[in-house]
Structures are given as structure tokens and as C-alpha cells.
């Protein structure tokens, strides 16, 4: 991967600068280098990377192969599921069942 083009890249580097979509090459607006996650990274770590880098999408790689694309929505949903499971476990422990 040499770069990523997001809606934000398009809005900031084409629309706001008055460029033409037809005449603007992708390389002129793409974000590079690409920030990626390893498939073994935790959800928490991916959320930190996305927050720190101001990203809404994070490519997931194994070696030099792209294997997926995480969205911030994917990570938030999973974090909510994990927290709900933890709450259930703690309630179960407190009740002694």
C-alpha cells in the first residue's frame, strides 16, 4: 500500500482547494505513509492508533498483505460487547452464582 484516500482527503484537498476531480491524480490527495494494524493487535490498541492518528478506518495487514479494514464503528461495537460481558461476569461474581 502506498496511500489511502478518504472522504476527508477528498474534501480537504479537492473540494476546499477548488481542484477538479477529473484533473487531480489520487497520489496528490492520498494520505501516506499508510498507518496499519497487525491482525494480532488488541481492539484497545487499534482504537488508540486511530484516535492518535485521527483515522476513521485502519487497514489490517499480515506481512505485506492487506487482510481487512477496520472502521471506528467496528471497534466501538466490539468494545461495547466486551464491556457488557465484563459487567455480566462481575454481576455473576457479586451474586455468588
Write down the pLDDT at residue 88: 94
Give the chain's domains with CATH numbers.
1-34 (no CATH), 35-97 (3.10.580.10)
Q: What is the pLDDT of residue 1?
A: 86
Report how far apart the first and last C-alpha atoms of the chain are (Å, whole number).
51
Per-residue pLDDT, 85 = 94
Task: Give pTM, 2 decimals.
Answer: 0.75
Q: Cα-flanking dihedrals φ and ψ of residue 86, to 5°?
A: -65, -45
H-helix or E-strand spanning residue 38 = strand 37-38
CA distances from 55 to 42, 49, 77, 86 (A): 17, 8, 17, 27
DSSP 14: I
Please give the chain's pLDDT, 97 residues, in tens. 899 998 889 999 998 888 888 989 999 999 999 999 999 999 999 999 999 999 999 999 998 899 999 999 999 999 899 999 999 999 999 998 6
Give Cβ neighbours of residue 6 (< 8 Å, ≥ 6 apart).
31, 56, 57
Amino acid at each position: 500500500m502506498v496511500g489511502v484516500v478518504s472522504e476527508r482527503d477528498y474534501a480537504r484537498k479537492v473540494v476546499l482547494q477548488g481542484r477538479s476531480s477529473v484533473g487531480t491524480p489520487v497520489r496528490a490527495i492520498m494520505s501516506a505513509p499508510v498507518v496499519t494494524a497487525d491482525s494480532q493487535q488488541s481492539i484497545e490498541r487499534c482504537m488508540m492508533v486511530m484516535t492518535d492518528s485521527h483515522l476513521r478506518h485502519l487497514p489490517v495487514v499480515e506481512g505485506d498483505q492487506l487482510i481487512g479494514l477496520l472502521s471506528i464503528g467496528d471497534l466501538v461495537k466490539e468494545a461495547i460487547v466486551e464491556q457488557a460481558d465484563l459487567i455480566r461476569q462481575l454481576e455473576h461474581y457479586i451474586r455468588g452464582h
